[in-house]
A and B are shown apart, each in its own frame.
Chain A
Amino acid sequence: MRLPPWRVILAGYVLAGIVVAAAGADWLAPYPFDELHVADRLHSPSLAYLAGTDEYGRDVLSRTLYGGRLSLFLGVAATGIGLAAGVPLGLLAGYRRGLLDEVLMRALDVVMSFPALLLVLLIIAVTPPGLGKTAVAVGILFVAPIARVTRSVTLDLVTREFIVAARARGERLSYILRRELLPNAWPAIVVEGSLRVAFAILLGAVLSFLGFGVQPPAADWGLMINNSRDFVETAPWLALAPGAAMSLTVIAVSLLGDGLREYLDPRLAYRQ
């Protein structure tokens, strides 16, 4: 077995580190995320508060660690839901064409013609707020673009002779979709998926800002960054920790996705 490229290993470690830090927030965080230190409000980063404190004197580092749980969960769960439904739909529509394709794609057109935020709000508004609900709503929203991307790759693949050859071998539909189309469409799906993780975290931030996602005093990264707007000039460190965490996560996920694509693609040359 060949080793994955170093970028993948590095990205994997970074991502694992972020996940462990978020999961172990109970032990790692120096303070509870909602503990107020009124005397030290808007304290700049120091030994006692490594990333500074916010306007209520809450430790930014602790809040970032705890917020990671919410943000990571949202990113992974929403993307997972989107992939689980979008990929099969896209493969089927692209392979079968005809009426199914037409109906499905027009339905997705309708979904995509609504602003993303409006649609998520619509889904959330029907039910009480909660992180799981938000993840499902964002996930449903992701089905459309993921199915689109999968379908367009599939459309190109079905004209290739190896798919025709698979049909001439009498392969069943599920085999052609899973074993012939999916592995060849995988590179595009991985790239789309890693972008979606980042997008979900950002969308979660907007929802929290509007009061639909995470409920205060808890905060995910997006909400922390949004809240820091008012203090950009006086306390710029407020955005620093959550911003860095978010950027690192997004970069690591994209690197991992991109590297995995190369690693999984047998045509690219660093095997043997």
Chain B
Amino acid sequence: MTPLLALRDLTVTYATEAGRLTAARAVSFDLAAGEALGLVGESGSGKSTIAGAILDLLGDGATVEGDILFESVDLSELDAKRRRKLLGHRIGAVFQDPFTALDPAMTIGRQIAEPLVEHLRLRPKSAMERACELLADMGIDQPRRIAAAYPHQLSGGMRQRALIAAAVACEPPLLVLDEPTTALDVTVEAQILSLLAELRQRCCSSVTISRSCANSATASRCSTPARS
């Protein structure tokens, strides 16, 4: 069976003033459908760089070598438009800081509904209905009230739930979680982790990036990038 996501000798270098800096060297792994992989490592070990490479967020300063195969398609060979269509649709992402990852000038509901409009071509109204359902799925009471709220009106845990709802809105087969609980306190962290574990059971594979093994406990397999 072909893996859902496969990295083959992924090497990422950044151009810095002090010369080229290698952030990730020859990273390879396979992720089968339904599997959950944890990438655990210290700060600066290149975890987030790997996530950034998968999500095509590294920008012009970074050079990505090697192959990233998603559903047997090499992402680096896709043109920008087709790659963009994968993001949010087939690959969902959750970032570490729920306090900055939500647009402060847009209601929660619209931010969750947006990928549905963009990728699934839902009408804004039905996308908003779906966003409320998603919020309810994330264990949020009064989803309608929360959907009409702005990010600053919610707690960190609520915001992270909203971000997860936005990431899974299009039911992507792959979730990339970049330290999804780092910015949260321990009790909320436990809630979010169990929510993620539940999502994993239901639908998708995931790559979770974390600094501590405890956070990756829900992963079925762990891998540690060594600092080079």
Contact = CB atoms under 8 A, between A and B. Distances in A.
A244 B209 CA distance: 63
Interface of A: 97-98, 160-162, 164-172, 175, 179-180, 183-184, 186, 265-267
Given A162-B102, A168-B93, A267 B55 contact: no
10 contacts: A98-B60, A161-B97, A164-B101, A168-B93, A168-B95, A169-B166, A170-B84, A171-B84, A171-B88, A183-B105
Contacts of A184: 103-105
B150 interface: yes
Given A162-B102, A179-B106, 6 more contacts: A162-B101, A164-B101, A167-B55, A168-B88, A170-B86, A170-B88
Contacts of B150: 266-267
Contacts, number: 76
Given A168-B57, A170-B118, A175-B118, A266 B95 contact: no
A169 B90 CA distance: 10
B109 interface: no
Contacts of A160: 100
A97 B61 CA distance: 12
Interface string B145-164: 00000101000000000010
The bracket for how many chain B residues form the interface is: 20 to 34
A266 B152 contact: yes
Contacts of B167: 169
A183 B105 CA distance: 6
B96 to A, nearest CB: 8
Contacts of A162: 100-104
Contact of B88 (A98, A169, A179, A266): A169
B104 A267 contact: yes
Contact of B118 (A98, A171, A183): A171
B144 interface: no
Nearest to B97: A161
A253 to B, nearest CB: 23
B89 interface: yes
Contacts of A180: 103, 106
Nearest to A165: B101
Contacts of A265: 105
Contacts of B130: none
Given A160-B100, A267-B152, A171 B105 contact: no
